[in-house]
Amino acid sequence: MGKLYDKLAEDVRFIEGLKACLNCGTCTAICPAAEFYNYQPRQIVDILQTRDDDQIEALLKSETIWYCGECMSCVTRCPRGNAPGLLITVLRSVSQELGYFVESEKGRQQLAIKRTVGEWILKYGYCLYPSEILPDMHPEQGPVWEWEHENMDAVMHRLGANYKKTGPGILRKIPQEDLDEVQRIFDETGGTERFRQIEDFSRIKAGEMGISLEDGLASDYFRHIYTTNNNDHSKDA
Amino acid sequence: MKIEGKRSIWKEYQKEIADNRFFYVRSCVRQNFFPGSEKTFLRIMKDELNKDVYENAAHTTCSGIGYHSDVVPFETAMTMVARQFALMTEAGYENFTTSCITSFGLYSEILETWHHFPEVEDRVREHLLKATGRTFTKPANLSHASDVIFKFRNEIAASGKYRLVNKATGNPLQVVEHIGCHYSKMFPSKGVGGAEYPYVLVGMIEDWGGEVIDYPERRHCCGFGFRQYLVQANRGYSLACSKKKFDSMAPYKPDFILTNCPGCPMFLDRWQYALSEMEGITYGENGLGIPVLTYEELAGMILGYDPWDLGLQVHQVPVEPLLDKIGIPYSSQRKFLTMDGKMMGQPKAPSHLKFYQHE
């Protein structure tokens, strides 16, 4: 048994997600990602079952593990009770811990998610926050969102939110002592360490690629990982 | 098959939903994009149904979007959820109901994990105690807020002003229902009707007078895909999933789409706009889209609440054609007013998708 396989198997989600795959391909048939990307959850499980470290390392460095949307449709359909989508969560965790995620275009995007959703959790106590969802980063949100953005306080007030205010309610300001608890939970449970790993490995990779990476969302490396698509990911590519 | 046999089989697809005394936690997506829906849920629960629903200002995100986009470790997400349970315990409640489907799936996953791996629960309890000084009791009952509206759907119908019937023809409205993937695909026993026969929205539609459309891609994901939407370079995945559904449902001419997940209505609404801009496609008649509703908005419409109090003005696909079909009155002049009655300006009209502006 390989060391990487052992590391994956330390995660309870791996134990829950991988029982015995018979390679029937039902997961691939139901998978939305398999329809869009060059991706087969069946192959992921097949590689894991080899327990071969070389193959697993290649997988951890690949684009492939980042194609899944974690909708978990595969979980419903597997006739053997496997959960390929859950195995993906473990592969992605280990890929980030070992710094392998920066070896793929899709993996490098983790920094963009950390600097948006990840940091908003600590800053606001919400995964999403309206003043941060910028129309120029979200053209698909359309003119209604642009209008909301320009009138956010008034719109939120009209719709019954308690936006930025104290007390319970929609988009209330979460008290600092509660945000402090969230920070301590992250410190205690590996969340802060995960963020540090994403930042550190990304900084090294940005240096290798010769692209500048500063704090925030404005630097060249952030823009690069947020928008770059080499168009070599689809099943038709 | 004898009716007793059917009932026996159907029992496997039932779920117990608490009757009262709910500890309510909010949804990040819902609060950002459809805040009026959460407002409406509490209004219905308190004003119409006289239920005790408690919200603690100290609750936060469960971190589920961060977890499913893989920047938040499982250990962290479990402890964030444990903190929500601690707030419930401290407030003296034991029925936990959540506005969010990602949260509902995560709570279900964590409770199932703790059931199979008690040592993990012990470890999370230690994390929580060390980080916050809190302890918790697990919920006696876990529900999604759509379960709760489903449970009381007949009471809502009984005091409702409107039914899902076309006023002009007298025919039932034709409705697409879309269930969030994490409602029951991972843990079928946790959802009404399981993963095979999700009944949570069908029950509302049928008991409120409409008819459900069964179309080929009914159970396909809306395409959120977490990282597949959050990062701009990946959004083709998200758009393609929604388009697959629109193309599949359009021949059945749905009057509207009903959803129970906070994310799905946002994507099914916004991607119709994006497709109209990208390819000139509109899925309704005469340049209209297919209106997309949350179950709270629909319940509020049935009860005769003002459409702008429900928040229907922040839909990119206009809902006015549906209001007209049912015969629900609304004031175009008031669509974009502040609470104090001042005009906020109004959104620009899209290039192709019809939009109802202030007159």
Residue B2: per-residue pLDDT: 78
Answer whether residue B349 is part of any domain.
Answer: no
Answer whether residue B351 is part of any domain.
Answer: no
Answer whether residue B157 is part of any domain.
Answer: yes
Are residue B195 and residue B102 in the same domain, yes or no?
no
CB contact under 8 A, B61 and A125: yes
State which residues form the domain around B237. 147-334
Q: Which chain A residue shows the shortest CA-CA distance from B271?
A: A140
Are residue B300 and residue B193 in the same domain, yes or no?
yes
Are residue B252 and residue B281 in the same domain, yes or no?
yes
Q: What is the CATH number of the domain that holds B322?
A: 3.40.50.11810
Residue A237: per-residue pLDDT: 64
Nearest to A189 among B61, B76, B234 (CB): B76
Contacts of A171 in chain B (CB under 8 A): 31-32, 35
Nearest to B311 among A32, A83, A159 (CB): A159
Residues 6+ apart with CB under 8 A from A193: none
**CA distance, residue A56 to nearest chain B CA (Å):** 19
Residue A236 confidence (pLDDT) above 90: no
pLDDT digits (tens, 9 = 90+) for B320-335: 999 999 999 999 999 9
**CA distance, residue A224 to nearest chain B CA (Å):** 10
Residue A143: per-residue pLDDT: 97
CB contact under 8 A, A190 and B73: yes
CB contact under 8 A, B79 and A166: no
Residue B149: per-residue pLDDT: 98
Are residue B250 and residue B327 in the same domain, yes or no?
yes
CB contact under 8 A, B221 and A181: no
**CA distance, residue A192 to nearest chain B CA (Å):** 9
Residue B104: per-residue pLDDT: 98
Are residue B171 and residue B315 in the same domain, yes or no?
yes
Q: Which of A189-203, B6-20, B211-225, B228-242 has the lowest mean pLDDT?
A: B6-20
- Binned at pLDDT 50, 70 and 90, residue B270 comes out as very high
ipTM higher than threshold 0.90: yes
Are residue B183 and residue B119 in the same domain, yes or no?
no
Q: Which chain B residue shows the shortest CA-CA distance from A198?
A: B71
Answer whether residue B247 is part of any domain.
Answer: yes
Mean pLDDT for all residues in chain A: 96
CB contact under 8 A, B315 and A144: yes
Are residue B203 and residue B328 in the same domain, yes or no?
yes
Answer whether residue B155 is part of any domain.
Answer: yes
Residue B173 confidence (pLDDT) above 90: yes
Residue A1 confidence (pLDDT) above 70: no
Average pLDDT, integer, range B240-259? 98
CB contact under 8 A, A174 and B60: yes
pLDDT digits (tens, 9 = 90+) for A80-118: 999 999 999 999 999 999 999 999 999 999 999 999 999
**CA distance, residue B78 to nearest chain A CA (Å):** 9
CB contact under 8 A, A109 and B130: no
Residue B9: per-residue pLDDT: 78
Interface test with B, best of A8, A71, A106 (most B CBs within 10 A): A71
| Cβ–Cβ < 8 Å for B258, B205 | yes
Q: What is the CATH number of the domain that holds B123?
A: 1.20.1050.140
Are residue B92 and residue B198 in the same domain, yes or no?
no
pLDDT digits (tens, 9 = 90+) for B105-135: 999 999 999 999 999 999 999 999 999 999 9
pLDDT digits (tens, 9 = 90+) for B79-88: 999 999 999 9
SS (H, E, C) B25-36: ECCHHHHHHCHH
Interface test with A, best of B232, B294, B314, B357 (most A CBs within 10 A): B232
The residue from B145, B173, B193 where one domain ends is B145
User: Which residues on adjacent β-strands are paired with residue A237?
Assistant: none
The residue from B145, B177, B202 where one domain ends is B145
Nearest to B75 among A92, A170, A190 (CB): A190
Are residue B167 and residue B55 in the same domain, yes or no?
no
Average pLDDT, integer, range B306-327? 98
Answer whether residue B13 is part of any domain.
Answer: no
Average pLDDT, integer, range B59-86? 98
Query: B10 versus B34: which is more confidently predicted?
Result: B34
Q: Which chain A residue shows the shortest CA-CA distance from B56?
A: A168
The residue from B145, B163, B183 where one domain ends is B145
Residue A232 confidence (pLDDT) above 80: yes
Looking at chain B, the whole-number percentage of residues with pLDDT higher than 70 is 99
Nearest-10 Cα torsion for B270, B191, B182, A44 = -140
Residue A235 confidence (pLDDT) above 80: no
| Cβ–Cβ < 8 Å for A93, A70 | no
d(CA B127, CA B123): 6
Average pLDDT, integer, range B7-35? 92
Are residue B138 and residue B80 in the same domain, yes or no?
yes
- Binned at pLDDT 50, 70 and 90, residue B13 comes out as confident
A135, HSE (Cβ side, Cα atoms, 13 Å): 11
**CA distance, residue A118 to nearest chain B CA (Å):** 6
What chain A holds in terms of domains, given with CATH numbers, is 3-98 (1.10.1060.10), 107-227 (no CATH)
Residue B1: per-residue pLDDT: 61
Q: Which chain A residue shows the shortest CA-CA distance from B99?
A: A170
In the block, tokens 């302890």 appear at: B135
CB contact under 8 A, A126 and B270: no
Residue B11 confidence (pLDDT) above 80: no
Answer whether residue B357 is part of any domain.
Answer: no
CB contact under 8 A, B58 and A70: no
Contacts of A127 in chain B (CB under 8 A): 28-29, 61, 63-66
pTM over 0.90: yes
Residue B294 confidence (pLDDT) above 80: yes
Are residue B182 and residue B330 in the same domain, yes or no?
yes
CB contact under 8 A, B61 and A148: no
Contacts of A155 in chain B (CB under 8 A): 314, 344
Average pLDDT, integer, range B152-173? 98
Residue B140 confidence (pLDDT) above 80: yes
- Binned at pLDDT 50, 70 and 90, residue B359 comes out as low
Quickly count: other Cβ atoms within 10 Å of residue B235's Cβ. Answer: 20
Number of domains forming the structure of chain B = 2
Are residue B229 and residue B278 in the same domain, yes or no?
yes
CB contact under 8 A, B74 and A13: yes
Residue B282 confidence (pLDDT) above 90: yes
CB contact under 8 A, B237 and A37: yes
Mean pLDDT for all residues in chain B: 96
Answer whether residue B283 is part of any domain.
Answer: yes
Nearest to B221 among A37, A73, A157 (CB): A73
Nearest to A113 among B195, B231, B271 (CB): B231
